[in-house]
Amino acid sequence: MACVLRRQSSDDGTVDSYTGYIDVGARHLFFYFFESRSDPAKDDVILWTNGGPGASSSIGLFMEQGPCRVVDANTTKFHPESWNSRANMFFIDQPVGVGWSYAEFGEHVGTTEDAAHDIAAFIAVFFEHFNKFKGRAFHMAGESYGRRYIPVYAAAVYDQNKELVKKGLTPINLNSIMIGNGWTDFYTLILSYYYMACTPATIPPVLDIKTCIRMKQMTLRCEETLKESSIDTFDHFSCGAATSFCRSTSTSLAPIHENSSVLNHGMQSNFSGQSWAVRVDFEANLDAYRQTYHYVSNLLDRGVRVLVYVGMNDFTCNHVGNEKWTTNLEWSGGDEFRNQPLKDWYVNGKTAGRVRSYDGLAFVTLDGAGHLVPYDKPVKSLELVSCWMAGRDI
């Protein structure tokens, strides 16, 4: 394993920043790293990844919570609500084949579980190289398809700690995971579309009565088909047919893509905001339909905190489905969590959304935000993350 870096001042001129590759065998994972604007010697460390599958995390860097926002093709501007205002933060292009990351000899990964080995190794090398951050509280965050990545990757990091200790290395201080507008459980989210479109879950119903009745009938059929083909058993052919049926009877998925062009400054791979090759590989393996919430349960029971936050105006990865899977979650604090009421939470004295929390799990909604919460509501999202890292009540 190796680390190749370029150090410079960030575009906002306030912190040290780095770009580079960490090599895991013949796989080369690219990252951007920005030290904290507040106290880099003491502040927590956050990993961020976007979703897709196949989307570059530069969408998060340049559109959402990075230190600068893009103005035009040649200009950026200071972003005061960047998450690196309160934390040391790095953005990773993953899996290999996404963004600037690449692999030699035709190597590739086709599932999140396959990619988890690379990410765990990447993180171990990262903290060995940036050794002043060793032992610092570490948070793994992502949105959209990142809901699939983050719990699986965090589990790999947690399990890897035993091997690090055996080798005399410092274990990773995995404090929490943060999932924004996540597609964590396909089976609850796909069934939630009826409630988003035909009930006043967020706004008044948007479809006519005839369509809603038909949608309800098909939703019940979809639920039965999914249970038989994808939950009780996971038959590749039958599950693929069932999920295709359910998607066609509710709505087509709307993945977020980054379409901006980026100049190649001597990088070893051609940049694309969305890797369709990676997406095709993951879809061929039905990665989106593999159940992820078991990883979340196991992390919670091992003391890793979990924040699930959702913009209220997102249809695809909506608050109805995300609330349902969090309340259905089986873990040691599950009963107590389900019994907690949804309460208002506030930013600068104004209602920001609602929250349900118990012990290490928090479900939070943000009013007025869509799929990209840090883009839509930068002040609220920074306050939310700051409270979460500090362990304060939201």
Residues that are catalytic: 144, 314, 371
Q: In angstroms, rounded to a whole number, what is the distance separating the alpha carbons of residues 105 and 263?
A: 25
- For 110-114, 149-153, 279-283, which range has the lowest pLDDT when averaged over its residues? 279-283
Domain with CATH 3.40.50.1820 in the chain: 2-185+257-390
What's the confidence (pLDDT) of residue 255?
34
List the beta bridge partners of residue 140.
47, 177
pLDDT given for residue 351 in this prediction: 98
**Token digits for 164?**
């690090």
pLDDT tens digits for range 117-155: 999 999 999 999 999 999 999 999 999 999 899 999 999
Nearest 10 degrees: CA dihedral of 263, 12, 96, 134?
150
Decide if pLDDT at 298 tops 60: yes
d(CA 352, CA 334): 25
Q: Give the pLDDT mean for 258-272.
A: 41
Neighbouring CB atoms inside 10 A of 79's CB total 22
Provide the pairing of β-strand 45-49 with 305-311.
unpaired
| C-beta separation of 299 from 158 below 8 A | yes
At residue 228 the predicted structure's pLDDT band, cuts being 50, 70 and 90, is: low
d(C-alpha 261, C-alpha 256), whole Å: 16
- Rounded Cα gap, residues 270 and 100, in angstroms: 7
2-185+257-390 topology per CATH: Rossmann fold (3.40.50)
Residue 274 has pLDDT above 70, yes or no: yes
Q: How far is CA 212 from CA 218, 221, 314, in A?
A: 10, 14, 19
- Which residues partner with 91 through β-bridges? 32, 48
- Short-list 35, 392, 394, 362, CA closest to 180: 362
Residue range(s) in the chain whose domain bears CATH number 1.10.287.410: 188-250
pLDDT exceeds cutoff 90 at 239 = no
Residue pair 176/306 in contact (Cβ under 8 Å)? The answer is: yes
% of residues, the chain, pLDDT over 90:
64
User: What is the rounded average pLDDT of the residues 371-375?
Assistant: 96
**In 3D, which of 301, 309, 299 has the Cα closest to residue 363?**
309
* Domain spanning 188-250, CATH architecture: Orthogonal Bundle (1.10)
- Given a contact cutoff of 8 angstroms between Cβ atoms, the answer to whether 342 and 362 are in contact is no
Q: Which residue matches tokens 């998060």?
A: 60
DSSP state string for 67-123:
SEEEEETTEEEE-TT-GGGTSEEEEE--STTSTT-EESTT----SHHHHHHHHHHHH
Give the pairing type, strands 45-49 and 88-92.
Answer: parallel
Region of residue 173 (left: phi > 0; alpha: psi -120 to 50; beta: else): beta
pTM for the structure as a whole: 0.88
Of 187-201, 304-318, 352-366, the one with minimum mean pLDDT is 187-201
Which residue reads 């996971």 in tokens? 234
